[in-house]
Amino acid sequence: MAEECCTPNGDVMILACSGGSNVGQLANQAAVELTQEGFGKIFCLAGIGGHLSGFVQSARDVPQMVAIDGCPVGCTKAILEHAEVPLKGYLVLTELGIEKNNDFKLGREEIEKVKAAAKESAGEGAASAKPSEKTPSGCSCTC
């Protein structure tokens, strides 16, 4: 089952904020759509935050990752740092010029902007990533 975790030609682990604002929800929606499109696979950030060993180890071992925070509070980044998971690609949506608010009507243009930035960020993180010996795709989760 571990070989299904990070899909062929889409072995990017996607970890996204899903906080209580538009940017949190934009991060999550982009992660869902990128997974559906085969770019990578959304992964459970809460499992890492809860220090569940399989989740943490998978995040440490994956060859490519993009972590998406909605705002500068940086909850996604803080969770990864607390679990001692190295950041391999990182994105903050408010740095893309998207204003944080409580309007949950997510626009297609903003979602596409986030997806494009996530793809770019994952590419930058890949340069420093080291493949794992766990599986050919580098994933060791038990999802």
Domain extent listing, the chain: 2-126
Predicted structure pTM score? 0.81
d(CA 44, CA 102): 24
Choose the CATH number for 2-126 among 1.10.10, 3.30.70, 3.40.50, 3.40.109. 3.40.50
Tens digits of residue pLDDT in 4-48: 444 344 689 999 999 999 999 999 999 999 999 999 999 999 999
pLDDT of residue 131: 39
Tens digits of residue pLDDT in 60-106: 999 999 999 999 999 999 999 999 999 999 999 999 999 999 999 99
